Chains A and B, each alone.
Chain A
Amino acid sequence: MNELDIEQAKARASKLREDIRHFHANVMPVDLRRKSDRHQVLDKADYLQWMRLLQRQGWVVGHWPEAQGGAGWSALERFVFEDELARHGCPWVIPFGVKYVGPVIYTYGCEAQKQRFLPGIISSEQFWAQGYSEPGAGSDLAALRTEALRDGDHYVVNGQKVWTTYAQWADWLFCLVRTDREARPQNGISFLLIDMRSPGITVKPIRTMDGYAHVNEVWLENVRVPVENLVGDEGGGWTYAKFLLRNERMAGAIVGMVHHVLHRLKRLATQTRSGSGRLIDQPLMRQRIGEFELRFFALEESAYQAVQAMMDGSENGAEASLIKLRGTELYQELAEATVEALGLAGVAYDTRALHDASLPPLGPDDAGGLLKDHFYNRAATIFGGSSEVQRNILAKLVLGL
């Protein structure tokens, strides 16, 4: 982008930020907003309502090119969209369709696949899940063993996926499978779109420490998948998987999430009494919040400069990893400090109150939700490339070690 384009992108991005504030304050339905403010658990119907609401504003695929039905957002608008929603503690934009598989299909898929799948992704008509990790292939994704063998005009798929978010709701699974056992690990992988209603698929929920089952095991036993559901070339799956990860790298949400939880901690410390004054006036708490403020300040400045670098083409390749590392580690420490500041309310937990907005909460009205998010985001330094893998990548690619 040249300087003029960047200036225009900045103007559009500040307009977008204003629009999102207005949307959060005035357009978001009261019920959904109340659940969101209290960090409650959303069910599938809530999420579908949320995604469609965003799509009515033209936002859910704003980052897609205009030719594919998007708004052709710059890196900055994309960042601002995720950042501003997260600052208000809004539900996340479920990424599996609109952020992950959609761009793979419009970039590498054939015309028939675009016609067939893109409209349902844009409208959230079809709910997607991601079949990547396996019991033996987590950080080492290329070690995956789920196998797809050609049988006439079908692939027959056998294997097991794990940590599959929302598989229980999904209509479709985009799945990395091994189509060639002889090739180098990365070369024998293909990208298949699998109908979740196919015979031979079993979804088993995995209960996590927040008491919920967002993630699942997905067992595939002689699942027949038509060859027309292969995206791109057989054996090209690793390339598409890496493309998907590059698309995933925009890290606006984590910056907004950190802002939100920092704001929440300050509010809590202002409202909580301690001795004869407020918690926030205690020197130790003030020092602690100050250190968080300082780290958030560094994160935010780095993030904006990374986005700027993406736009003017001066990236060094480390930006996305830096923001993921700094952002997720800071988020976790803030969530921990918030739970500690809640005191005994920080260990009281009633999952019913997280579903049912009419039940009286324990402690401050969003304490349960904060606790739930704190549990859930212990995985933030594990999924999407663990902190250790991020450091491995930087050591190799940027430092040449």
Chain B
Amino acid sequence: MTTDADTIAMLRDSATRYAADHYSFLQRRAALDDPHGYSERAWRDYAQFGWLALRLPAADGGIAADPAAIGAVMEVVGARLLMEPLLASAVVGTGILMSAAGAAQQASPLPSLADGSLKLAFACEDDPETDGCELRGGRLHGSKIGALHGDVADRLIVSARDADANGAWTLCLTAAGAPGMRRKSYRMVDGRGAATLHFEGAVVERLATGDAAAVIEQARDEAAVALCAEALGVVRSLVSTTCEYLKVRKQFGKTIGSYQALQHRMVDMFLLQEDIRALTRSAQRALGGPPSERARIVSGAKAYIGTAARQVANEAVQMHGGLGVTDELDVSHYFRRVMVINALFGSRDEHFGRFVDASLEAA
């Protein structure tokens, strides 16, 4: 299902305008300093605009947004470094509920997701030191790490092995603070929150999914593609801000942008931005395609974009000179966001490996 171009353009425009008016770098400082690490007011505004219901069907007040429409908002998340749990809750968490939960399980959460009173997070990363999570007799054991916005989520979706079904993947829903669950919250380098979760026989609800492994893979792919769009937004901001700086900063009596060495490096940053744009579009289209092709294209895009965005961020810091490493300038904040984007929902190496396997298998 595809969202029409006018709707996407409207979403993009309204998100861009809102962020320009209400999410300046200074206003964002306040969100950074908030105990939750995001702005509750902005979150309520997003609910008003319908962004939290993006993925819901029209019957539930949403627009059943396709990946390009979600990407339009995610580009603004990157371009302005929004801090709220849009990706964790409105994109990934809601997406899993839509595809994996039965009608009864959806009935109560959907309206609360749309109005922002319920926030979800997806805990799908295992601690490499332990065996991950296991569901035994309806109780969850084990731990999960690095759950984006797991610190502020009201409910968590946890991937686990089902000991009563030969270790098949399953998806569990648990409330924050449920007995038998401990949550260790922390901030990531970009200031957003995350959590490590420990389960010691927590009572959880199973999502009524048929093929949990497929749902998990789909959700991780959707998250990766949304992150590609977020990286595109970040990179666009870095490219334009660095280019402007080259035009005004003077050394040795000339603007530094008049030096060919810097012009060529600036062009290379721009070319990387264009690569990222093309691959983000490709990945968005691939989400609706056959799974094998989807794996190749989504992972290819995430891997390529990871390297490309990091390269742009490195160059942006370098070309801003000493200012580039300061906390006062937005450049270092974009730099830190790139690090987080690259670490979430599959590292560069993981996606590269998956891309190579799919490519060489197809050959």
Contacts and interface: CB of A to CB of B under 8 A. Distances in A.
Contacts of A273: none
A293 B278 contact: no
Interface size band for A = 20 to 34
A30 interface: no
B267 A399 contact: yes
Given A293-B356, A395-B267, A322 B247 contact: no
A302 interface: yes
Contact of A392 (B260, B268, B356): B260
A305 B267 contact: no
A394 interface: yes
A297 interface: yes
Interface in A368-401: 388, 391-392, 394-395, 398-401
A401 B359 contact: no
A1 interface: no
A301 B293 CA distance: 14
A298 B304 contact: yes
Contacts of B17: none
Contacts of A290: 352, 355-356, 359-360
B347 interface: no
A246 interface: no
A398 B273 CA distance: 13
A298 B275 contact: yes
Contacts of A10: none
B267 A302 contact: no
Contacts of B282: 301, 305
A209 to B, nearest CB: 26
Given A290-B352, A294-B300, A294-B352, A391 B360 contact: no
Given A301-B282, A399-B243, A401-B246, A391 B355 contact: no
B16 to A, nearest CB: 18
A312 to B, nearest CB: 11
Interface size band for B = 20 to 34
B271 A294 contact: no
Given A297-B300, A298-B278, A391 B264 contact: yes
B267 A301 contact: no
Contacts of A322: 271, 274
Contacts, number: 87
B97 interface: no
Contacts of A398: 267, 270
B267 A286 contact: no
B271 A325 contact: yes
Given A289-B360, A293-B355, A294-B303, A301 B278 contact: yes
B224 interface: no
A322 B303 CA distance: 20
A394 B269 CA distance: 11
A297 B263 contact: no
Given A293-B359, A388-B264, A326 B271 contact: yes
Given A294-B304, A391-B263, A401-B247, A286 B270 contact: no
Interface string B284-312: 00000000000001001001100000000
Nearest to A302: B278
Nearest to A269: B360
A137 interface: no
A395 B260 CA distance: 9
8 contacts: A286-B360, A293-B356, A302-B279, A318-B270, A392-B263, A394-B271, A398-B267, A400-B247
Closest 6 CB pairs of A and B: A290-B356, A395-B263, A302-B278, A301-B282, A391-B264, A401-B257
Given A394-B267, A394-B270, 14 more contacts: A263-B363, A290-B360, A294-B352, A297-B279, A297-B304, A298-B304, A301-B282, A302-B278, A302-B279, A318-B271, A318-B274, A391-B263, A392-B263, A395-B267
